[in-house]
Amino acid sequence: MSKEMEFTDQNFDQEVINSQVPVLVDFWAPWCGPCQMMGPIIIELAEAMGEKAKVGKINVDENGKVSSAYGIMSIPALKIFKGGVVVKEFIGVQSIDVLKKALEELA
């Protein structure tokens, strides 16, 4: 997976919950400044992780079902899923090193 994925209400179960590898989900919105800062980090992380993990974004404005299910109140909110459950969470802009380390520990 050389590029970040786009998660939606429609593909979330298939791509995230049922994934065989850890998945980092960036809950974001286009109007959110800090979310825009995370964009290049998410792309770089997706490329760095390759097949070891899935990395992607879900637009909270367009995908209210998933956002509500996970109680998203502040964005960017980053959640790492393994085996269909949230195992790590971050709020706000994070460095690629922090996120990569968290994913590598689970891969």
Nearest to 28 by CA among 45, 8, 1, 47: 8
> Does residue 79 have an active-site annotation?
no
- Residue 67 phi, psi (nearest 5): -60, -40
Q: Out of 24, 35, 55, 77, which one is annotated catalytic?
A: 35
Q: Out of 1, 21, 29, 32, which one is annotated catalytic?
A: 32
Paired tokens of 97: 């090193």
Measured CA to CA, the distance from residue 85 to residue 17 in angstroms comes to 7
Q: Which residues of 88-107 are buried (b: 16+ CB within 10 A; e: fewer)?
A: bebeeebeeeebbebbeebe
> Does residue 32 have an active-site annotation?
yes
List, by residue number, the catalytic residues.
32, 35
